[in-house]
Chains A and B, each alone.
Chain A
Amino acid sequence: EPEVTQTPSHQVTQMGQEVILRCVPISNHLYFYWYRQILGQKVEFLVSFYNNEISEKSEIFDDQFSVERPDGSNFTLKIRSTKLEDSAMYFCASSVGEKLFFGSGTQLSVL
């Protein structure tokens, strides 16, 4: 079965550093998403992306965050200057407009 893949599975970074989380959505999917889950809390919506632009973003997705689809296959989330509170599991998801398929997540630890 096709799946969404995310790399790396774990990322450790120093506060203030930039990180890029990578995702390869399912190949014929058109809608792309990033969600995050802070330990012990709900999975929260960050941003959705369609037709090469952001279609919706949450209040969490501030100027420190950006998304890009640099080529036909990758979908990236960049955090420009990481903060301690950015430590979370970040999930990428994609869909053709119906149910979402999630990747296995990238655990980001900001020290």
Chain B
Amino acid sequence: GEDVEQSLFLSVREGDSSVINCTYTDSSSTYLYWYKQEPGAGLQLLTYIFSNMDMKQDQRLTVLLNKKDKHLSLRIADTQTGDSAIYFCADQNRDDKIIFGKGTRLHILP
């Protein structure tokens, strides 16, 4: 079945850029998402990209999509302590079902 994979942990120094990577297997993706989950909280939609785009920028966030390699990345510029959270990559298929990755825990070093 369809799958979404991402590394489980990432540590970044405050002020540096964070890059969280994700790969997916679905050939019929419509949208790809990045969600943020802070401790005890729900899923906050950070950004999304339509599958026929290859880049989207939104303030400190840059999403890159390589559809050929089925690779999605999220770059957070000037990482702050408030960015500490779990980041979920998710793929929406043509049946509008969303498949989530396991999440990448972003840890900010002082």
- A residues whose Cβ falls under 8 Å from a Cβ of B: 6, 31, 33, 35, 41-45, 48, 56, 91, 93, 95, 97-105, 107
From A42, A43, A95, A97, contact of B43 by CB (8 A): A43
In the complex, chain A residues whose CB is within 8 Å of the CB of B31: 98-99
* Sample (5) of A-B pairs whose CB atoms are under 8 Å apart: A41-B102, A99-B31, A100-B98, A102-B43, A105-B43
Complex Cα–Cα for A102 and B36 (A): 11
Known contacts A42-B102, A43-B43: does B96 contact A102 (CB below 8 Å)?
no
Inside 8 A of A104's CB, which chain B residues have their CB?
A: 41-42
Nearest-CB residue, chain B, relative to A107: B40
Task: Give the interface SS of chain A, mostly helix, strand, loop or mixed.
Answer: strand
**Shortest distance in angstroms between B38's beta carbon and chain A's nearest beta carbon?**
10
Chain B positions near chain A (C-beta within 8 angstroms)? 31, 33, 35, 40-45, 48, 88, 90, 92, 95-103
Give min CB distance, B17 to chain A, whole Å.
25
Contacts of A48 in B (CB 8 A): 96-97
Q: How many whole Å from B102's CB to the nearest CB in chain A?
A: 5
**Given contacts A91-B42, A105-B42, A105-B43, is CB(A100)–CB(B100) below 8 Å?**
no
Kindly provide the distance from the CB of A90 to the nearest chain B CB, expressed in whole angstroms: 10
Are B97 and A56 within 8 A (Cβ)?
yes
